[in-house]
């Protein structure tokens, strides 16, 4: 039955949509809610949607919240919105929630516990239905308090030591293995590691992955070639790389805990007039935007950040739909992106030069003697996923 025309004196209501579509108001409510639309005949649902569009009807979120005891908003806490990788994570979360009729409420904590606590309190006052947090440290009392109070919480990118909170991360252990394998195949034996903070799961798991990968390759793990950063930023990368160089231990490659630490290594190598990659190869982690435009373009481990966000949204919806949903711990497979910052081991005499690693555009003329093609990129995907590795398909 085609929708009937209706003259309105004010904004359209749910009953107006029902009259135009020729159905019961309860049917309209179910058809307009993505979570219950499947309960309505497809043709009827289409008729309801067309009637709502014709009338310009917009559901009243406050009224809906009173009926369902839900606000259909999810609090999203991000540690640093200036870090470009979180843009993709948030976009994935937003897209995943929108399909189910939920809206994210985003807060930036700047890695500050006080700001994070205030954000949780403010979002709780707005009666969000749950929290997706990218701010976790391994022992996180704030998260423990939220879960203890009955809040729905999902972790993304980082997790805690406990398995009690649902989480989705990259498979950091496998990602670092890809980096070490790549360097070993290029002939590197003395490989240094600029590790992330061990208070963060990403820093801890990547460090463990480095140790395991070196041992699996029967390569010496020299404690003097491992430096721990206090934060995942460029300044700490430069400090840690400088400390490695001050120790005067021979090494030919660095595996950095993330891309910002790797770029800090570029700074330290340039200051010491060392070539990258001819003297020291550098591998980052994350493949954040624009690292392919630095000179040399950064070899790095790519993490599927958009998919992390979308999977976190799916985990949250899973928790909201069922009180019995288990707190699943999921890992997404990384891939190695090979660019210009890694090369075969060079003779010791080739390490020093007056031109070094820098962060100019990839298209800038390379100095005489530099090898490789600035724009060349190859990827090496992770091998068969382990039992915890998941894709979005497992959450649909």
For 310-344, how does the pLDDT look when each residue is reduced to its tens digit (9 = 90+)?
A: 999 999 999 999 888 999 999 999 999 999 999 99
Q: How many CB atoms lie within 10 A of CB 95?
A: 13
Query: Which CATH architecture fits 68-169+306-331?
Result: 3-Layer(aba) Sandwich (3.40)
DSSP code for 235: H
Residue 348, pLDDT > 60, answer no
Which pLDDT band holds residue 166 (cuts at 50, 70, 90)?
very high
Mean of pLDDT values over 82-107: 93
| Length of the chain counted residue by residue | 396
Q: What is the pLDDT of residue 9?
A: 57
| Contact indicator for 285, 176 with CB cutoff of 8 Å | yes
Residue 24, pLDDT > 90, answer no
Separation CA 39–CA 100 (nearest Å)? 14
Separation CA 226–CA 243 (nearest Å)? 10
Separation CA 227–CA 241 (nearest Å)? 8
Structure tokens at 260: 């910002």
First-to-last CA distance in the chain?
Answer: 33
Q: What's the pTM value of the predicted model, to 2 decimals?
A: 0.75
Binning the chain into helix, strand and coil, the percentages to the nearest 5 are 40, 15, 45
Which pLDDT band holds residue 229 (cuts at 50, 70, 90)?
very high
Q: What is the CATH number of domain 14-59?
A: 1.10.260.40
- pLDDT per residue over 132-160, tens digit each? 999 888 887 777 777 777 889 999 999 99
Domain 172-303+334-384 annotated CATH 3.10.20.30: no
| Contact indicator for 281, 183 with CB cutoff of 8 Å | yes
Q: Indicate the average pLDDT of the chain.
A: 84
Separation CA 310–CA 92 (nearest Å)? 4
Structure tokens at 343: 């090369």
Beta strands in the chain (DSSP E): 73-78, 103-108, 130-133, 153-156, 167-170, 191-195, 226-228, 253-256, 281-286, 299-302, 329-332, 335-338, 378-381
- pLDDT per residue over 378-396, tens digit each? 555 454 344 344 444 434 4
Residue 372, pLDDT > 50, answer no
- pLDDT per residue over 198-214, tens digit each? 999 999 999 999 999 99
Same fold, 68-169+306-331 and 172-303+334-384: yes
Q: What is the pLDDT of residue 335?
A: 98
Residue 297, pLDDT > 60, answer yes
Residue 376 has φ and ψ, to the nearest 5°, of: -70, 130
Domain ranges (residues) in the chain? 14-59, 68-169+306-331, 172-303+334-384
Separation CA 338–CA 353 (nearest Å)? 24
Helix, strand or coil, per DSSP, at residue 230: coil
- pLDDT per residue over 234-290, tens digit each? 999 999 999 999 998 899 999 999 999 999 999 999 999 998 999 999 999 999 999
Residue 375, pLDDT > 70, answer no
| Contact indicator for 305, 337 with CB cutoff of 8 Å | no
């Amino acid at each position: 039955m085609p929708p009937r025309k209706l003259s309105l004196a004010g904004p359209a209501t749910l009953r107006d949509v029902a009259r135009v579509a020729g159905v019961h108001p309860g049917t309209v409510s179910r058809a307009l809610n993505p979570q219950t639309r499947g309960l309505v005949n497809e043709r009827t649902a289409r008729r309801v949607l067309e009637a709502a569009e014709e009338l310009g009807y917009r559901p009243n979120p406050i009224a809906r919240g009173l009926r369902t005891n839900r606000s259909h908003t999810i609090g999203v806490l991000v540690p640093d919105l200036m870090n470009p990788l979180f843009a993709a994570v948030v976009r994935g979360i937003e897209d995943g929630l929108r399909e189910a009729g939920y809206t994210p409420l985003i807060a930036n904590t700047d890695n500050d516990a006080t700001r994070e606590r205030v954000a949780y309190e403010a979002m709780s006052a707005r009666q969000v239905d749950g929290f997706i947090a990218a701010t976790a440290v391994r022992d996180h009392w704030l998260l423990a308090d939220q879960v203890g109070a009955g809040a729905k919480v999902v972790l993304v990118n980082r997790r805690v030591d406990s398995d009690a909170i649902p989480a989705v991360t990259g498979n950091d252990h496998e990602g670092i293995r890809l980096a070490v394998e790549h360097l070993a195949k290029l002939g590197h034996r003395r490989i240094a590691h600029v590790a992330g903070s061990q208070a963060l799961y990403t820093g801890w798991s990547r460090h463990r992955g480095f140790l395991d990968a070196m041992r699996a390759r029967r390569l010496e793990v020299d404690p003097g070639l491992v430096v721990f950063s206090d934060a995942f930023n460029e300044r700490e990368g430069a400090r840690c790389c400088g400390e490695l160089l001050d120790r005067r231990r021979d090494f030919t490659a660095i595996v950095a805990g993330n891309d910002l630490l790797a770029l800090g290594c570029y700074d330290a190598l340039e200051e010491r007039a060392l070539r990258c990659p001819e003297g020291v190869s550098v591998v980052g982690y994350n493949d954040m935007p624009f690292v392919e435009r630095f000179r040399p373009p950064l070899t790095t481990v790519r993490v599927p950040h958009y998919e992390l966000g979308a999977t976190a949204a799916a985990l949250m919806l899973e928790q909201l739909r069922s009180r019995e949903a288990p707190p699943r711990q999921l890992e997404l497979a990384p891939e190695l992106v090979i660019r210009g910052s890694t090369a075969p081991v060079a003779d010791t005499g080739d390490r020093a030069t007056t031109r070094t690693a820098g962060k100019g555009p990839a298209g800038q003329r390379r100095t005489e003697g530099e090898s490789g093609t600035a724009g060349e990129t190859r990827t090496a995907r992770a091998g068969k996923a382990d039992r915890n590795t998941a894709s979005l398909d497992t959450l649909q």
